[in-house]
Amino acid sequence: MNLAKSELSDRWALVTGGLGGIGAGIACELATGGASILMHDIGDLGRQSSIEQLLLSRGAKQVEFSYFDLSAQEDSASNWQILSEKYPVDVLVNCAGRQATSPLAEFPRKLWDEILATNLSAAFDTMRVFMPRMRATEYGRIFNIASVHGLVASANKAAYVAAKHGLVGLTRVAALEYAAVGDALSGGVTVNAICPGWTHTPMIEPQIQEFIDSRGGDRALGMQALLAAKQPSLRFTSPAEIGSMVRFMCGRQFHNWTGTVIPIDGGWTAQ
């Protein structure tokens, strides 16, 4: 891990969806490596001060925040362009996400558009804005936080599954386009997708609650039932565990680790 720390100490990392859940876990690990952190979110802005203090205490050189709606695609693209002129982003983590459940025939078209914009198009925008600089410096790390739903489907999640499958495809295309950039010494530009299974974050609380209700209000039984339905390990992944992998992969020695899709799912997709 010491190599990853030296790699990150003079670098900027952008984390979308950074104020909570997986994004916050990744940002904390990158801060531990000494990176400066640019956080983007539209969530609970009241958390900004506490997150900033946490990241600085972990070792971040600087912490900056940006807020705008990723589903407003034209505004989003122009905002990223402006930010790219101020922040020399070397590590890009596309973690912003949104989910809603409904049968396909009843899924609102407006909601479909918003989920695809947030989960897929926003990553396209950040990548096309920030990756040219990575090409020029011959170092960059892109982590697209997809989901097991980028690999397998679940009923009533048409927009989310479509977006995450698209994010996996986008990852592979970008990896091919940038594969020959740099060398082992510079570290190259790598693009990978991480596909978490059940990770204990606020996003899955509604699904946990459904299982709790079906088990007579017993939270422990409900959570175990949720895990048993999909995840053979019967354990949740923590955001910090995902963050540790991201930090690890920032080392220059992983210059050939690109175009991969990495499930962290307790065996979910092995079934």
Assess whether pLDDT exceeds 60 at residue 219: yes
Cα distance between residue 74 and residue 13, in whole Å: 23
pLDDT for 43 equals: 67
- Residue 139 bears catalytic tag: no
* Among 58-72, 113-127, 202-216, the least confident range: 202-216
Whole-model pTM: value is: 0.93
Cβ-based neighbour number of residue 104 at 10 Å:
11
> For residue range 29-81, what is the model confidence (pLDDT) as tens digits?
999 999 999 999 986 777 888 999 999 999 999 999 999 989 887 788 899 99
Q: What is the mean pLDDT of the chain?
A: 93
Cα distance between residue 96 and residue 148, in whole Å: 16
pLDDT for 223 equals: 86
Catalytic annotation, pick one of 87, 139, 160, 178: 160
114-to-72, 148, 234 alpha-carbon distances in Å: 8, 20, 32
Fill in the DSSP letter of residue 236. Answer: P
pLDDT band, residue 147 (cuts 50/70/90): very high
> For residue range 88-118, what is the model confidence (pLDDT) as tens digits?
999 999 999 999 999 999 999 999 999 999 9
158-to-9, 111, 198 alpha-carbon distances in Å: 40, 11, 18
User: Listing from the earlier edge strand, what are the strands of the sheet with 261-264?
Assistant: 63-66, 36-40, 12-16, 89-94, 139-145, 188-196, 261-264
Q: Structural domains in the chain?
A: 2-199+238-270 (3.40.50.720), 201-236 (no CATH)
Assess whether pLDDT exceeds 70 at residue 3: no
Assess whether pLDDT exceeds 90 at residue 203: no
